Structure 1
Amino acid sequence: MRIKNYIGGKWIDSEQLQQVPIVNPANGTVLGEVPLSTKAEVEMAVSAAKEAQKKWALIPAPKRADYLYEIGYKLREKKEHLAQVLTSEMGKVIEEARGEVQEGIDMAFYMAGEGRRLFGETTPSELADKFAMSVRSPIGVVGLITPWNFPIAIATWKSFPAIVAGNTFVWKPSIETPLMAYELGKIFEEVGLPDGVANIVFGSGSTVGTAMIEHPDIKVISFTGSNATGSKVAELGGRHLKKVSLEMGGKNAVIVMDDANLSLAVDGIVWSAFGTAGQRCTACSRVIVHKDIKQELEEMLVEAISQLTVGDGLDPAIKVGPVINRKALEKINYYVQIGKQEGAKLLAGGKILSAPPFEKGFYFEPTIFTDVKNDMMIAQEEIFGPVISIIEVCSLEEAIEVNNSVKFGLSSSIFSQDINKIFKAQRDLDTGIVYVNAGTTGAEIHLPFGGTKGTGNGHRDSGQAALDVFTEWKSIYVDYSGKLQRAQIDTEN
Structure 2
Amino acid sequence: MMKGTRNGKEYYRLYIDGQWVDSTSDKLTDVQNPANEEVIATVTDASPEDVQKALESSQRAQLDWQALPYVKRAEYLVKLVEKVKEKREFFARLLVMEQGKTYGEALGEVDDTMAYMMYAVESANKIKGDVLPSNRVGELLQIQKVPYGVTIGLCAWNYPLALIGRKLGPALVTGNTMIIKPHELTPVASAEFFNLIHEVGFPPGVANFVTGTGAEVGQLLVSSPITKLVTVTGSVRAGQQIYKAAADNITALSLELGGKAPFIVLDDADVDKAVEAAVVARFANCGQVCICNEMVLVHEKVADEFTAKLLERVKQVKLGDPFDSSTTMGPKANGLDLKKIDDIVQETVAQGASIAAGGKRPTGGIFDKGYWYEPTVLVNVKPDMAAAQKEIFGPVLPIIRISSFEEAIEIVNSSELGLSAYLFSNDYRKLMHGMNVLQVGTVFLNQGMSGCMQGHHSGHKLSGLGGEDGEYGIAGYLQKRTVYLNYNA
Report the TM-score when normalising by structure 2.
Answer: 0.96
Contact 1:35 1:202 in 2 (8 A): yes
- Aligned residue for 2:33? 24
> Given the alignment, which residue of 415, 434, 454 partners 1:446?
454
Deviation at 1:242, TM superposition (A): 0.9
Deviation at 1:243, TM superposition (A): 1.0
Deviation at 1:481, TM superposition (A): 3.1
* CA deviation string 1:321-377 (max 9, x = no partner): 000111111111100001101111211110012322211111001111112111112
How is 1:69-218 mapped onto 2 (pairs within 5 angstroms)?
69-218=78-227
* CA deviation string 1:289-317 (max 9, x = no partner): 11110001100111111111101211111
- Aligned residue for 1:463? 470
Contact 1:88 1:314 in 2 (8 A): no
Inter-partner Cα distance in structure 1 for 2:60 and 2:393 = 40
Secondary structure at the counterpart of residue 143 of structure 2:
strand
**Pair 1:276-2:260 in alignment:** no
* CA deviation string 1:199-236 (max 9, x = no partner): 00001112211111121111111111111111111011
Aligned-pair identity in percent equals 35
- Aligned residue for 1:479? 486
Contact 1:350 1:366 in 2 (8 A): yes
Deviation at 1:60, TM superposition (A): 0.7
Secondary structure at the counterpart of residue 190 of structure 1:
helix
Inter-partner Cα distance in structure 1 for 2:455 and 2:83 = 24
Inter-partner Cα distance in structure 2 for 1:378 and 1:427 = 27
Inter-partner Cα distance in structure 1 for 2:13 and 2:321 = 28
How is 1:399-438 mapped onto 2 (pairs within 5 angstroms)?
399-438=408-447
Secondary structure at the counterpart of residue 294 of structure 2:
strand
Query: Is there any run of 5+ residues in structure 1 with no aligned partner, and where?
Result: 483-493
Contact 2:120 2:474 in 1 (8 A): no
Deviation at 1:386, TM superposition (A): 0.5
* CA deviation string 1:146-199 (max 9, x = no partner): 111010111111111111111111111111111111121012112221111000
What amino acid maps onto 1:71 in structure 2?
Answer: L
Query: Is there any run of 5+ residues in structure 2 with no aligned partner, and where?
Result: 1-9
Q: Number of aligned pairs?
A: 480
Secondary structure at the counterpart of residue 363 of structure 1:
coil
Secondary structure at the counterpart of residue 401 of structure 2:
strand
Inter-partner Cα distance in structure 2 for 1:223 and 1:239 = 18
Secondary structure at the counterpart of residue 23 of structure 2:
coil
* CA deviation string 1:86-143 (max 9, x = no partner): 1111001111111111111111111011211121112222334332221111111111
> Given the alignment, which residue of 328, 349, 357 partners 1:319?
328
Alpha-carbon RMSD across the aligned residues, in angstroms, is: 1.3
Deviation at 1:431, TM superposition (A): 0.6
**Pair 1:35-2:44 in alignment:** yes
What amino acid maps onto 1:301 in structure 2?
Answer: L
- Aligned residue for 2:4? none
Report the TM-score when normalising by structure 1.
Answer: 0.95
Inter-partner Cα distance in structure 2 for 1:429 and 1:184 = 38
Inter-partner Cα distance in structure 2 for 1:82 and 1:437 = 34
What amino acid maps onto 2:56 in structure 1?
Answer: S
- Aligned residue for 2:338? 329
